[in-house]
Structure 1
């Protein structure tokens, strides 16, 4: 997943979708196909996802926090801890039917980039993917934590320092703003 000029190039993105609910994986697959992503890999268990993560490089991992046999938090921690693995630094979106602060913090501390509430809104998913593609957050690799820098700065920037998220912040400050069809089409050309 990368930016091409000012557009997000999604045609060649290879995401991994992990959810033990087949309807959820199909819904996410349909949303991703709507974005022009034609090759999502779908796993219905953490064990199947582990095998996929060991053998293939993915551009994005989307994993359900709560699954019956094993939770997604464990999978993300294991993925991050495998420093020699092909997906140790791959961006992760955690999905959850409920997103209390405690769960968002747990996902963040597991090494996830973001947590998204289910049912997944295509616009929110696309915004988070765009944020990840544009993000310059450092990847932290310490004995106790592997993942994107957990600190989001909220204090004012010093004079003369450019806010790298200025455009994202401007867009998200308009709560009812939705992408027009032309804007969506522009993402895929």
Structure 2
């Protein structure tokens, strides 16, 4: 997908749930998504409000959840939602926003079933880039006894297209000259279409 095509993403029909435990941050985040063209936004200041939206059967195209809620309530909310087999929101993309991006917090976000973590303070550009990344998400949804959510093997996908990686071991988008024999078609198919993890 080209950068020009990406900027034409139409979010006017998207339904977004925003769960933040700070009114100012909730208002700012709401304005950011209004700026993206989203018209259906449910702003929740408490966990009970967000859970009521889920129970009401509203189907969301994206959930943005605060990691910094007391007693890790944001992580627990995502984990419970991913286990709700009768909810249409179980497979919805979930983005966590956090003021604490220590490796332990990132690991909790990954292990609760979130798709992505964005560090506070957010900016419209970073948020839009992450929404675009989620729109192109191709990771399989995995269900096991201990985890439910997108495939956690995320690091190998590299940074979003058109952005510079932050890790020292991010692979370059530039291809070098071929080395060695070509792979067989069955080997290529196995790489591009891995089997879904068994339940």
d(CA) in 2 for partners of 1:9 and 1:35?
A: 8
2:164 equivalent in structure 1: 173
Give the CA deviation at 1:144.
Answer: 1.3
d(CA) in 1 for partners of 2:155 and 2:122?
A: 26
Superposed, 1:157-168 pairs within 5 Å as 168=160
The answer to whether the 8 A contact 2:142-2:151 is kept is: yes
Give the CA deviation at 1:68.
Answer: 3.2
2:114 equivalent in structure 1: 112
Whether 1:83 aligns to 2:74 is no
d(CA) in 1 for partners of 2:145 and 2:10?
A: 34
Structure-2 change in CA distance of 1:174 and 1:93 (3 Å) = closer
Number of residue equivalences: 160
Give the CA deviation at 1:73.
Answer: 0.3
Unpaired segments ≥5 residues, structure 2: 167-199
Q: Once superposed, which parts of structure 1, at least 4 consecutive aligned residues long, lie more than 3 Å away?
A: none
Superposed, 1:16-165 pairs within 5 Å as 16-55=17-56, 56-68=58-70, 71-152=73-154, 154=156
Which is greater in Rg?
2
TM-score, with length taken from structure 1: 0.78
d(CA) in 2 for partners of 1:54 and 1:96?
A: 25
The answer to whether the 8 A contact 1:46-1:70 is kept is: no
- Greater relative contact order (CA < 8 Å, ≥ 6 in sequence): 1
1:184 equivalent in structure 2: none
Quote the RMSD (CA, aligned, Å): 2.0
Equivalent position SS for 2:40: coil
Post-superposition CA distance 1:120-161 (Å, at most 9, x none): 11111111111111111101122211111100253xxxxxxx
The answer to whether the 8 A contact 2:15-2:40 is kept is: yes
Give the CA deviation at 1:165.
Answer: 7.4
Give the CA deviation at 1:47.
Answer: 1.2
TM-score, with length taken from structure 2: 0.75
d(CA) in 2 for partners of 1:69 and 1:23?
A: 21
Equivalent position SS for 1:71: helix
d(CA) in 1 for partners of 2:17 and 2:71?
A: 18
1:183 equivalent in structure 2: none
